[in-house]
């Protein structure tokens, strides 16, 4: 038996999505696994494989599996393990794969989050109810199945409100409603006809907390400040870490998040928790048992010297100490997404120069001349981003702002849009 045939294997459930960010996450994770001598295997939808070649070509094996079918994924992994009993790590960074990955890990008897914990945090109303019952501040929320139930929920609660899908991410289908008359338009934005939520709009500055579990205990890497477009939509267009907060506030935030994660039973992998700082204290937002988007993984790699975030998860799953014992955030990072005017793109000026800046840790441009740029309603409509590393968060914010402003999108009217 060769050394590779004995080596532990990482199962990347869901493989990579088609977005450049998702491909970069999986490629980075594969590189960190291979540097540890691990074998890597992607489980991906057959239709995604041709569109994710950068990640696919790095993996040792690729299997076309419907990973959203938990029963089929568990059966496939059991058959794999039965014929090849090497140690395994089950990992995913994709929202639709979180539930199946938890069930696979449980069936294989390897490190993972309890399926009930993952199901709870993925169903946003269930998570709200659980955390409120555990003593954490939460926005009031109602589960609705049609317009009549939503109107009743608005009549029984104080506005403004947020209408959102019960499950999902990337602000898809999420909108603010200031008056009941705006409800029909908000319902039209929902991605499907399933149950949805009407939630209290929280007044306060929004942050997120990024971290990982080691030995079942949550370790916070950074608190992240957010920039968003004005309502009615909630598209994030910038991140900065570590957030410039007073030390006592940062400590309270990290302690609150750690207690919430522990109460929810989460114990493995990466986490991304959203929250608001309000006049009445911390109000927890959505909890995710996965990493954040927005190239935060690239910024963390700069801000926490020596950190290999994915590698640390793999080490922990196999009972090894993390490669970087000190997980302190001693530097900083910032990202900005481009917010060009809507219209048909004629050309982009200054992109090559901005992307080539030595402080840039991630650069993405998703449009080319001839493409139509929409007015943003959710994160998947963003056309590109730059992320930088620096010694301080103030330096990072100034630099990334300057670089983004140096890139000019020249557009012309298209299909009723105006430049």
pLDDT at 160 over 60: yes
User: Distance between alpha carbon 352 and the CA centroid of its chain, in Å?
Assistant: 27
Mean local confidence (pLDDT), 153-167 = 88
Domain with CATH 3.30.1490.20 in the chain: 140-200
pLDDT at 173 over 50: yes
| Residue 150 CB partners (closer than 8 Å, separation 6+) | 142, 144, 163, 183, 187, 196, 198
pLDDT score for 4? 61
pLDDT at 2 over 90: no
Mean local confidence (pLDDT), 65-74 = 93
pLDDT score for 417? 53
pLDDT at 418 over 50: no
Residue closest to 346 by CA, chosen among 291, 411, 282: 411
Structure tokens at 314: 């793999």
Residue closest to 198 by CA, chosen among 142, 140, 156, 128: 142
140-200: in CATH 3.30.160.110: no
Exposure letters 163-189 (e unless 16+ CB within 10 A, then b): bbbbbbbbbbbbbbbeeeebbeebbeb
pLDDT score for 362? 97
Classify domain 3-110 by CATH architecture: 3-Layer(aba) Sandwich (3.40)
pLDDT score for 351? 98
CB 85 within 8 A of CB 56: no
The pLDDT-based confidence of 275 (bands split at 50, 70, 90) is: very high
Domain with CATH 3.30.470.20 in the chain: 205-412
Report helix angle 124-133 to 115-122, nearest 10.
110
Residue closest to 52 by CA, chosen among 27, 89, 32: 27
| Residue 297 CB partners (closer than 8 Å, separation 6+) | 25, 28, 291, 309
Each residue of 228-267: pLDDT tens digit?
888 777 889 999 999 999 999 999 999 999 999 999 999 9
d(CA 329, CA 113): 26
Residue closest to 208 by CA, chosen among 229, 219, 224, 222: 224
Q: Is the pTM of this model over 0.75?
A: yes
* Residue 45, CA distances (Å) to 12, 30, 68 in order: 12, 18, 9
Task: Determine what percent of the chain falls in helix, strand and coil, rounding each to the nearest 5.
Answer: 35, 25, 40
For the CA atoms of 404, 409, 415, 417, the dihedral, rounded to the nearest 10 degrees, stands at 60
Q: Alpha helices of 233-308 — where are they, by DSSP H? A: 247-263, 296-303
User: Distance between alpha carbon 401 and the CA centroid of its chain, in Å?
Assistant: 22
Mean local confidence (pLDDT), 205-214 = 96
Mean local confidence (pLDDT), 198-223 = 95
* Selected residue with higher pLDDT from 186 and 92: 92
Report helix angle 247-263 to 124-133, nearest 10.
110
pLDDT at 323 over 60: no
Structure tokens at 28: 């980075």
The pLDDT-based confidence of 5 (bands split at 50, 70, 90) is: low
CB 266 within 8 A of CB 358: no
Domain with CATH 3.40.50.20 in the chain: 3-110
Structure tokens at 127: 């998570």
pLDDT score for 273? 98
pLDDT score for 322? 67
| Average pLDDT taken over every residue of the chain | 92
Q: How many helices (H) and strands (E) does the chain have?
A: 14, 19
Pairing of strands 39-44, 61-64: parallel
d(CA 176, CA 285): 15
pLDDT score for 98? 96
pLDDT score for 325? 60
Residue closest to 104 by CA, chosen among 13, 216, 213, 14: 13
Each residue of 90-105: pLDDT tens digit?
999 999 999 999 999 9
pLDDT score for 419? 41
Each residue of 290-315: pLDDT tens digit?
999 999 999 999 999 999 999 999 99
- The CATH topology of domain 205-412 is D-amino Acid Aminotransferase; Chain A, domain 1 (3.30.470)
Structure tokens at 7: 């080596």
Structure tokens at 182: 């705006």
Mean local confidence (pLDDT), 136-153 = 92
- Give the least confident one: 23-27, 132-136, 375-379: 375-379
pLDDT at 415 over 70: no
pLDDT at 83 over 60: yes
């Amino acid at each position: 038996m060769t050394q590779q045939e004995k080596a532990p294997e990482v199962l990347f459930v869901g493989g990579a999505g088609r977005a450049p960010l998702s491909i970069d996450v999986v490629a980075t994770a594969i590189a960190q696994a291979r540097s540890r001598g691990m074998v890597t295997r992607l489980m991906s939808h057959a239709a995604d494989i041709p569109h994710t070649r950068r990640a696919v070509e790095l993996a040792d094996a690729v299997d076309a599996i419907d990973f959203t079918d938990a029963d089929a994924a568990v059966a496939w992994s059991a058959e794999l393990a039965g014929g090849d009993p090497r140690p395994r790590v089950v990992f995913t960074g994709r929202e639709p794969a979180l539930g199946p990955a938890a069930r696979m890990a449980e069936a294989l008897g390897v490190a993972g989050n309890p399926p009930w914990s993952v199901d709870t945090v993925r169903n946003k109303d269930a998570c709200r109810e659980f955390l409120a019952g555990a003593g954490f501040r939460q926005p009031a929320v109602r589960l609705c199945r049609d317009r009549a139930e939503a109107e009743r929920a608005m009549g029984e609660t104080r506005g403004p409100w947020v209408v959102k899908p019960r499950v999902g991410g990337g602000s898809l289908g999420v909108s603010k409603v200031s008056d009941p008359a705006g409800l029909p338009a908000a319902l039209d934005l929902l991605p499907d006809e399933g149950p949805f939520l009407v939630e209290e709009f929280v007044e306060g500055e929004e942050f997120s907390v990024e971290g990982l579990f080691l030995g079942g205990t949550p370790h916070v890497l950074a608190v992240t400040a957010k920039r968003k477009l004005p309502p009615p939509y909630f598209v994030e267009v910038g991140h900065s870490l570590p957030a410039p907060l007073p030390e006592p506030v940062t400590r309270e935030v990290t302690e609150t998040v750690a207690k919430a994660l522990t109460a929810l039973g989460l114990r493995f992998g990466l986490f991304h928790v959203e929250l608001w700082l309000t006049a009445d204290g911390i109000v927890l937002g959505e909890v995710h048992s996965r990493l954040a988007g927005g190239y935060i993984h690239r910024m963390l790699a700069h801000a926490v010297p020596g950190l290999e975030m994915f590698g640390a998860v793999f080490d922990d799953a196999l009972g090894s100490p993390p490669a970087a014992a000190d997980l302190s955030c001693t530097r900083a990072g910032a990202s900005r997404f481009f917010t060009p005017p809507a219209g048909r793109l004629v050309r982009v000026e200054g992109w090559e120069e901005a992307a080539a800046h030595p402080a840039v840790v991630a650069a993405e441009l998703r449009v080319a001349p001839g493409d139509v740029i929409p007015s943003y309603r959710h994160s998947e409509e963003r056309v590109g981003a730059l992320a930088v590393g620096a010694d301080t968060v103030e330096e990072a914010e100034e630099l990334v702002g300057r670089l983004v402003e140096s890139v000019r999108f020249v557009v012309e009217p298209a299909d009723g849009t105006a430049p």
